């Protein structure tokens, strides 16, 4: 029997997005997360966190800080009986032009190998267009969670996304804004399989009897 997985963005999807979290005490689960992940685990889904944490590459904090926040999140979920099976983090800044930062599919693909997951039976879930694009590139289903209000980012300003939405037109080091990625993903040629306003709606979509259409 094939393994299916939920690949989950972290900030703004599992926990409140405070903007570059530095303190484990900033971890606050979003409403509905526990019930949703419990239901999905009972339905046979493995759970994996897929997160860009460019605060390290930008020099705001170190990798130990990311680990401490991650550990607090995992512990909070475990206290409710929700176990995380894997986690993949990109610590690079956008200008590093790394291979792993979303919307690259690399972290999803690594986690899928670790879990033995069938990407065609799995979902990438996140609150940003780059999450959707990463899932599409990996070949899994995608659901966009409407963003929660976030605290202002640090002085560095906007958080550009390395896009390459169309590899034939963009080089591997292309960098575009979230707005540009969003425009591309909202076109007829590139959309999420579903958009959910909250975790309850998203759970119904995941557990629906008829699976969503395959990725194009």
Number of independent structural domains in the chain:
1
pLDDT confidence band for 193 (50 / 70 / 90): confident
**Sheet with 86-90, side-by-side order of all strands:** 86-90, 45-52, 4-8, 123-126, 141-145, 194-196
Asked, for residue 216, whether it belongs to a domain, the answer is no
Q: Residue 23: inside a domain, yes or no?
A: yes
What pLDDT, on the 0 to 100 scale, is given for residue 1? Answer: 52
Beta-ladder partners of 58? none
Question: At 117, is the secondary structure helix, strand, or coil?
Answer: strand
Distances (CA, A) of 100 to 82, 90, 110, 193: 26, 6, 10, 23
pLDDT at 88: 98
The answer to the question of residue 215 being in a domain is no
Domain annotation covers residue 213: no
Does residue 211 lie within any of the structural domains?
Answer: no
Residue 14 lies in domain: 4-206
- What's residue 171's pLDDT? 31
Q: Give pLDDT tens digits for 119-128.
A: 999 999 999 9
Query: Does the global pTM surpass 0.75?
Result: yes
Point out the catalytic residue in the list 9, 86, 127, 159: 9
Active site residue 188: no
Does 11 participate in catalysis according to the annotation?
A: yes
183's CB contacts (< 8 A; 6+ apart) are none
In a domain? residue 168:
yes
Single out the catalytic residue among 11, 17, 86, 131. 11
CB atoms within 10 A of CB 158: 10
- In this structure, is residue 63 part of a structural domain? yes
Question: Is cis: bond before 81, omega within 30 of 0?
Answer: no
Specify if 196 maps to a domain: yes
CATH of the domain at 165: 3.40.50.1000
- Contact, 106 vs 47, CB < 8 A? no
pLDDT of residue 172: 31
Instruction: From residue 204, give the alpha-carbon distance in Å to each of 6, 66, 100, 194, 208.
Output: 14, 31, 30, 11, 6
| C-alpha radius of gyration, the chain, whole number | 16
Q: Which of 191, 162, 33 is nearest to 100 (CA)?
A: 162
């Amino acid at each position: 029997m094939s393994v299916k997985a939920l690949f989950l963005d972290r900030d703004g999807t599992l926990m409140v997005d405070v903007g570059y979290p530095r303190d484990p005490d900033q971890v606050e689960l979003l409403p509905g997360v526990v019930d949703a992940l419990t239901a999905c685990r009972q339905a046979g889904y493995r759970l994996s966190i897929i997160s860009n944490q460019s605060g390290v590459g930008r020099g705001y904090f170190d990798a130990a800080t990311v680990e401490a926040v991650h550990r607090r999140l995992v512990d909070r979920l475990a206290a409710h009986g929700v176990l995380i099976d894997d986690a993949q983090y990109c610590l690079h800044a956008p200008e590093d032009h790394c291979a792993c930062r979303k919307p690259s599919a690399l972290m999803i693909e690594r986690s899928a190998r670790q879990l033995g997951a069938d990407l065609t039976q799995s979902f990438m879930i996140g609150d940003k267009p780059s999450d959707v694009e990463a899932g599409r590139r990996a070949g899994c289903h995608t659901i966009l969670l409407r963003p929660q209000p976030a605290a202002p980012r640090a002085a560095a300003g906007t958080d550009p996304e390395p896009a390459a939405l169309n590899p034939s037109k963009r080089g591997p080091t292309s960098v575009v804004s979230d707005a540009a990625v969003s425009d591309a993903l909202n076109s007829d040629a590139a959309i999420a399989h579903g958009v959910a306003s909250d975790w309850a709606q998203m759970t119904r979509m995941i557990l629906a009897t008829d699976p969503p259409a395959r990725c194009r």
